[in-house]
Structure 1
Amino acid sequence: MTQSHPTSGAEPDPACPVSLDLLGAVYRAEPEDLPEILAEIPPTTRAKLAVYLYGKSHMHQLGLSVARACERDDLVRVAGEIGSVVHGQAQMKSARPAAPNPAAPPPPRLILRGGGSAPKKISLGGSSAKSRSFD
């Protein structure tokens, strides 16, 4: 027996300042296309969107990207001190690991060598440990 579940479109979050279609366009936008989309959103709404996205753990970075397209005053107007924090974080350079520099010499390799003898064997218990008394 096959059970079917009704499917419905996503329900918009009443706290989201933009339509579900516009939110989807922002979410799916390539980084180079995002400024063009954001330019079409009024400044106050754009600031509200930045703060809304920033507050969602899975869209935190997108919120910072939107905040980069906002004026600090707009962010502060819509979110107070949080808007100032969002603006500050958005202006910071991202903490991505640096790409390796092909011209840089490779790091030195550290090779540890013993006195040229075979490695020393270490007992992990075995039969000699069974006869010991630890009282």
Structure 2
Amino acid sequence: MQLAVWLYGRSHTHEIGVRVAATCEGPSFHQVAGLVGKALYDLSRCPYAPPSSGARLAGGRRISLGGSQTETRAVA
């Protein structure tokens, strides 16, 4: 339970914390972490929603850190 709360509190392990919480019992969460524990337990019982990374923007465009697909590069 403490591990789930700790993982959930970090942005890069947030999803893992929810998954760990799904393996634990509810009343214990409230005792260990109070309202945060109860909220995490409730969240772990909701259907899984995959991350939205790579989602398309309105108009069908994607966000990319690699530059535009139509961009041409000069060859030296």
TM-score normalised by length of structure 2: 0.63
Superposition deviation, residue 96 in structure 1: 3.0
Distance 1:56 1:96 in 2: 18
Between the aligned residues of both structures, percent identity stands at 39
- If you compute each CA radius of gyration, which structure gives the higher value, 1 or 2? 1
- Paired with 2:3 and 2:49, the residues of 1 have a C-alpha distance of 23
Instruction: For 1:27-106, list aligned pairs within 5 A.
Output: 47-96=1-50
Q: Distance in 1 between matches of 2:3 and 2:41?
A: 13
Structure 1 residue matching 2:23: 3-state secondary structure: coil
Structure 2, unaligned runs of 5 or more: 52-76
Aligned residues: 51
CA distance in structure 2 between the partners assigned to 1:64 and 1:96 by the alignment: 13
Alignment of 1:107-118 (within 5 A): none
Coordinate RMSD, CA, aligned = 1.3
Deviations 1:51-73, CA, capped at 9 Å, x for gaps: 00000110000000110011111
Q: Which runs of 4+ in 1 moved over 2 A?
A: none
TM-score by length of 1: 0.36
Secondary structure of the residue that 1:80 maps to in structure 2? Answer: helix
**Structure 1 residues 50-102: Cα deviation after superposition (integer angstroms, max 9, x where no partner):** 100000110000000110011111111110010010001111001138xxxxx
Structure with the larger RCO, 1 or 2 (CA within 8 Å, 6+ apart) = 2
5+ residue gaps, structure 1, are 1-46, 98-135
